[in-house]
A and B are shown apart, each in its own frame.
Chain A
Amino acid sequence: MSDARLAILSKVRQAQIRAYIPEAKSGLPARLAYPALDPGALRFRLLEEFALLGVEAFVEASEADVRRRLSGLIDGKSVLSWDPDHLPYGAGDCLTGAKTVFGSDSRDEQGQAEIGLTGCENAIAETGTLAVTSGPGRPRAASLMPITHVVLIRASDILLGMGEYFRKTRETADRGNVPLPYVVFITGPSRTADIELSLTLGVHGPGRVIAILGP
């Protein structure tokens, strides 16, 4: 194994001396800049993108409204959820009475759930994207296995571009000298166009994504 490593690295090293690699254009910025937008503009942009993607969005004025909306959506259905202490707006309260499973439950039980309930680290306005990290109490399966994904978004977590999320995450990781978290960027429902380019939703992941934007 290490023989292959040495052989490849030595071949690459010799090759890169001879390589013809065209010069890049000069005068380009080091990285992309993102203008600072006010929260209202960010939310407007996010909702615009959600509409294009077919993400159903509800904007709620108070924590109680968020919980009321969520309870209405759950309405007795089975839920695969993040642990309550990881959900914003005290949304865990909506799970009492409902048939709820968590990351620690068996895969089969998770597979039965009709709704996946998660928060998100950030929402990215320019593409209508959810940055959903995972960790203890925040299983990846919740935003993936059920046919419907309900996500709770805090107004202060909306960013304009993915680059901003990356910078923030990189700084946090470097400061704490820890590896990056696992993150999935979710942009709308699962889709395929493999069959004659006709759009089909929910082929593997959720076919419905519902966003509740709170205060």
Chain B
Amino acid sequence: MSRFLDRVETALQDEELKGALGRATDRLASRRSASLDSLEDSDMIRDMARRAKMGLLTDLAGNLETFEKNLINNGVQVHWAEDGKAANRIVVEIAKARDCKRAVKSKSMATEETHLNHDLLEAGLEVLETDLGEYIVQLAGTTPSHIILPIIHMTKESIGEVMHRKIHVPYTSDPEKLAKIARAKLREAFLSADIGITGANFGVIDSGAVVLVSNEGNARLVTTLPRVHVVLMGIEKLVPNLDDLDLMIKILGRSATGQKITTYTSIVPGPRREGETDGCEEMHVILLDNGRSRILGGPIAEILGCIRCGACLNACPVYKNIGGHAYGDTYPGPVGAIVTPGIRGIKGWKSLPDASSLCGACRDVCPVRLDIPRMLLELRKHAVEEADVPWTLRAGLWGFGMIASRPWLYRTAARLGGIAARLMAPDGWIKKLPGLAGGWTRSRDMKAPAPKSFQRMFRDRHV
């Protein structure tokens, strides 16, 4: 618990983070609203997208079997992984069996979740992230802090510094020059890579195809140049058919960056075919569970409809202040506060659902209308039931319950408490409460109770 609070404290002290993050999230949020406003029937499209995602979950097992069958028909090799370690092992095995040495990746949250890079490096492969932001994250040796903008927390000066230090190019803070340097460096890597690794934005069940979106075009290069292509995707990332994909594409770009559509949307239905001169020769899809089946079996199943647009991050007053790293794992923001305890288990992550004021901004912006506050409350309940609640809290709540259920006792306690509180607050504000109650006043003052209690007022008027 304190670890989360420590991370929050660190984030709040970070002036660079606060500046970069605040500016970026505000701009993204306003672009999102403008872009959705310009989409005719956007409310209906969101309802339809929600219907497609929720409908899919009611028979996820059957849908997975159909997807698998259609992938195989298209010449794709399908693998299943129960957890992250297993998924990484499969990627390593594929690479070794095909004598692949150099891997290029396009941005994938699933591979961040399984810490794939670590296991690939350990197995002796070279791995290069090719999304500009992820490339810089990799150079800097940190982790991404936003679902779609991995280096939202960095300024252009610190990015220039990292590139200067790590790849020995002259220092510049000009974004255009930095991007040009990265293009040249990464193009070399693409041409010599023998295995490309991606996630999937969607898997189209009835077509046996994987859909990838990117603005830079790196996902296209990753799936066009290397001879082997491996897709690592969560078992929930499906849509039933192309009509539903039409809906998803309409809302994904708009919700993420305010673009009507992301620059590149590739639909990859298997490896290259007879007579083609590019595209991978071999394509693998790894279907990853890693806790998702457990999520499905409980009250937060709805979160499996998330399309990872990041809109809830940009709208969240908590995320805007503490940034992505404070959430401590792959998925930050409101969605992360649900997904992380979901896939990793509530133990060790029970502070995350508390990192919300339940203001509901996330629910308002969610393109598939996920009821995020409801799920956060479910997780808080779960945390209390499952995780270790300190005995002081248990005792306190038991005591409160005892007093509150006996009106005469409550009245007496309230009167005595009120007198004591007013004694501590000559100017109407209590600066410091004694004992356990001190936790409340450590970071804020408390208003002294009114001289006349509600109970007393009620009785004076009506009894």
Contacts and interface: CB of A to CB of B under 8 A. Distances in A.
Contacts of A108: 191
B108 interface: no
A189 B207 contact: no
B306 to A, nearest CB: 14
A185 B264 contact: yes
Nearest to A33: B41
A107 B242 CA distance: 33
A129 B261 contact: yes
A47 to B, nearest CB: 15
A193 B149 contact: yes
A190 B249 CA distance: 18
Interface string A170-213: 10010000011111111111111111111010111110000000
Contacts of B132: 192, 194-195, 203
Interface stretch (A67-75, A87-95, A150-158, A159-167): A159-167
Interface in B38-66: 41, 44-45, 47-48, 50-51, 54-55, 57-61, 64-65
B245 A166 contact: yes
Interface string B264-307: 11111110011111110000000101000110111101100000
Decide if the interface of chain A is mainly helix, strand, loop or mixed: loop
B354 interface: no
Contacts of A104: 277
A37 interface: no
A12 B216 contact: no
A32 B246 contact: yes
Given A12-B235, A204-B183, A22 B371 contact: yes
Interface residues of A, number: 77
A188 B81 CA distance: 37
A197 to B, nearest CB: 5
A155 B45 CA distance: 29
A21 B301 contact: yes
Given A18-B297, A28-B44, A183 B266 contact: yes
B261 A25 contact: no
B208 interface: yes
Contact of A140 (B150, B261, B279, B297): B279
B368 to A, nearest CB: 10
A10 to B, nearest CB: 8
Contacts of A191: 215-216, 263
B384 interface: no
Contact of A194 (B150, B243, B263, B299): B150
Contacts of A28: 44, 47-48, 51
Contacts of A162: 246, 249-250, 261
B45 A32 contact: yes
A36 interface: no
A204 B64 contact: no
A59 interface: no
B45 A179 contact: no
A127 B35 CA distance: 12
A84 interface: no
A8 B82 CA distance: 6
B218 A204 contact: yes
A167 B206 CA distance: 13
A51 interface: no
B446 interface: no
A188 B267 CA distance: 17
A9 interface: yes
B430 interface: no
Nearest to A102: B277
B187 A111 contact: yes
A154 B265 CA distance: 21
A103 B171 CA distance: 38
Given A1-B79, A197-B24, A203 B216 contact: yes
A139 B151 contact: no
A135 B73 CA distance: 18
Contacts of A19: 57-58, 296-298, 301
B289 A11 contact: yes
A5 B179 CA distance: 42
A192 B61 CA distance: 37
A134 interface: yes
Most B CB atoms within 10 A — which of A19, A22, A190? Answer: A19
B278 A203 contact: no
Given A4-B82, A8-B80, A141-B224, A205 B57 contact: no
A191 B218 CA distance: 11
Nearest to B182: A203
B299 to A, nearest CB: 5
Contacts of A128: 260
B307 to A, nearest CB: 16
B275 A136 contact: yes
A193 B292 CA distance: 31
B114 interface: no
Given A21-B57, A21-B58, A144-B224, A166 B159 contact: no
B138 interface: no
B298 A140 contact: no
A14 interface: yes
Interface in B359-380: 371
B296 A166 contact: no
- Going nearest first, the 8 A-B pairs with the smallest beta carbon separation are A205-B217, A136-B275, A15-B297, A103-B277, A194-B133, A24-B51, A166-B242, A11-B293
20 contacts: A12-B64, A16-B57, A16-B59, A19-B297, A28-B51, A32-B45, A136-B275, A162-B250, A179-B73, A179-B208, A182-B279, A184-B220, A190-B215, A191-B216, A194-B131, A194-B132, A194-B133, A194-B136, A197-B28, A200-B175
Given A12-B296, A22-B54, 20 more contacts: A2-B80, A8-B64, A12-B289, A12-B293, A20-B298, A20-B299, A32-B48, A32-B246, A49-B260, A134-B276, A135-B273, A181-B269, A185-B267, A187-B261, A190-B215, A190-B263, A192-B133, A195-B175, A195-B178, A204-B130
